[in-house]
Homo-oligomer: A and B are copies of this chain.
C-alpha cells in the first residue's frame, strides 16, 4: 500500500474487504517403498490429502463434498498466515518444528464460491511416521498419502489442482537447488540415502550414477563426512556417513557447468 493517491482514496471510499483469509498446507513426506536389510532405499514423494465430508456439522451438504483437498483453515486475526499454517499443521499431525515454506497466494476472484477468500499456500516436510500417527488419531475424515502421479486423477476441491501443481513444482525445485533434502533424512546419512531422496524428483545422470554420486558428495561444500562413523543399514559393506553443514549456497547459472 501507501501510494499517496490510493491512501487518500481509501480512507474515504472504504474499499471492500475480503470475506476470508485462509492458509493451506501441502504436506509432503518421502516414504521408503522397499526396505530390506542391507539395501539402499527406494523412495517416493507423497502428498497428504483430506477427503471433504459429505455434510457439515449442521447436517447441510458440504461444498465440494467428497472431493480431496489440502488441509488448512482460517487465519485468526492475531496471527500471520504462516503462523496459522504452523498451528494447523500441528493440530493435524501433532508435530512441531516442521519445515514449512510459503510459496504462493491464491486470490483469483471466484476461486471460492463463499466469496472473496484469499489463501496462502505453504508446503511442509514431515517425517513419514508422524503422518501415520495422525491417521490413527482422526478416522472421521479420510486422510491419505498419494504419489505425485496419482493426485491429478482424483477429484480435487476448489482450485486445489493448481495449488498442488505449484507445490510440487516448488518442492522439486527446492530439493535440487537448496539443502532441504536434509529434512527428509536422518541427521547422518549415506550417499545412497541422499541419492534416493533426489531421485524422487530428478533423472539427472550425475545423480543416478552410483559411483559418480558417491564421489561427488565428498566435494559438495555443504556436506561433510562424519569422521570414522559407518553404518550397515544400506549395505553389507560398512558405509560412510555424511551430514549437512549450515551454509548458504548460491551458484549463479552463469558460472555453472553444462
Contact = CB atoms under 8 A, between A and B. Distances in A.
B158 A1 contact: yes
Contacts of A109: 77-80
A252 interface: yes
Contacts of A140: 4
Given A70-B2, A74-B10, A253 B249 contact: yes
Interface of A: 1-12, 15-24, 50, 52-53, 56-58, 62, 64, 69-81, 88, 92, 102, 104-105, 107-109, 112, 116-120, 140-141, 157-158, 160, 173, 176-179, 198, 202, 204, 206-207, 213, 216-217, 219-222, 249-258
Given A1-B72, A2-B157, A6-B88, A21 B118 contact: yes
Contact of A253 (B4, B18, B178): B178
A255 B69 contact: no
Given A81-B118, A217-B254, A251-B251, 11 more contacts: A3-B88, A8-B58, A10-B20, A12-B57, A17-B18, A18-B77, A21-B118, A75-B107, A207-B255, A216-B254, A256-B257
A98 B50 CA distance: 39
Contacts of A251: 251, 253, 256-258
B252 A6 contact: no
Contacts of A176: 250, 252-254
B53 A177 contact: no
A176 B177 CA distance: 13
Contacts of A77: 15-16, 18, 109, 116
B2 A52 contact: yes
A115 to B, nearest CB: 9
Contacts of A1: 20, 22-24, 72-74, 112, 117, 119, 158
A64 B2 contact: yes
A13 to B, nearest CB: 9
A216 B258 CA distance: 11
Contacts of A120: 105, 107
Nearest to A23: B1
